[in-house]
Amino acid sequence: MGVKGKIAWNFMTDKVSKVLFQASYRELMNLLMSTSDSVDEINRKMKDIGFRVGETLLMDYADRIRQHAGKFHEFANTLQLAYKVNSGQEFTDIWVSSDKRSIKFTDADCPICAGVHITDMPGLQYCVIVSGVFDAVMKLRGFQAESFQESCRALGDEACTWTLSLL
């Protein structure tokens, strides 16, 4: 077992059916849609939910991560690993700005948006829960940063992108 196997072992996590997750997420989104007055309100609520999910995830993994990111830009790798552990796939692209104050994560095959096509709610950030998770990780790790979802496949964009920037 090489290094890769060792890491995989340490981060082995319980699995749940993708269909179950996607259906549950869709119903959560439907509920937010029917109980919110605007797209902004839906986005905000889903991001808040993501923040709480992120708190739980970070506490669950805190004990198992031996090397925490020390500098902001190192979260490019840390969050890639966390994404892989929780979604079973990697971000298709990660871009770090030259001043190392912004990281852009891209998934051209976002598992949350798979099979979802929304045409009548411009501005909706369908998978903004990911931004909320990023925000929680930043806050709990002591960084003043904010995440923003820039594009979303469910709304017709080519890929889902979430940008994380130091404030």
Q: Are residues 110 and 125 in contact, defined by beta-carbon separation less than 8 angstroms? A: no
Q: Can you give the C-alpha Rg of the chain in angstroms?
A: 16
| Of 36-44, 53-61, 87-95, 112-120: span binding Zn ion (CB under 5 A) | 112-120
Which tokens go with 156?
A: 């017709």
Shorter beta-carbon distance to Zn ion: residue 57 or 160: 160
- Which CB sits closer to Zn ion, 59 or 108? 108
Q: How far is the CB of 160 from Zn ion (least distance, A)?
A: 3
Decide if 48 contacts 132 (C-beta within 8 A).
yes
Of the listed pieces 37-45, 79-87, 97-105, 119-127, which binds Zn ion according to CB under 5 A?
119-127
Q: Quote the least distance from Cβ 6 to Zn ion, whole Å.
A: 31
> Per rule CB under 5 A, is residue 82 in the interface with Zn ion?
no
Least CB distance from residue 37 to Zn ion, whole Å? 23
Least gap, CB of 154 to Zn ion (angstroms): 6
Structural contact between residues 83 and 91, judged by C-beta atoms closer than 8 angstroms: yes
Q: Phi and psi dihedrals of 116, rounded to 5?
A: -100, 130
- Residue 12, helix vs strand vs coil: coil
Q: Which of the residues 123 through 162 are near Zn ion (CB under 5 A)?
A: 127, 153, 160
What spatial distance separates the first Cα and last Cα of the chain, rounded to whole Å? 41
- For Zn ion, the binding residues (CB under 5 A) are 110, 112-113, 127, 153, 160
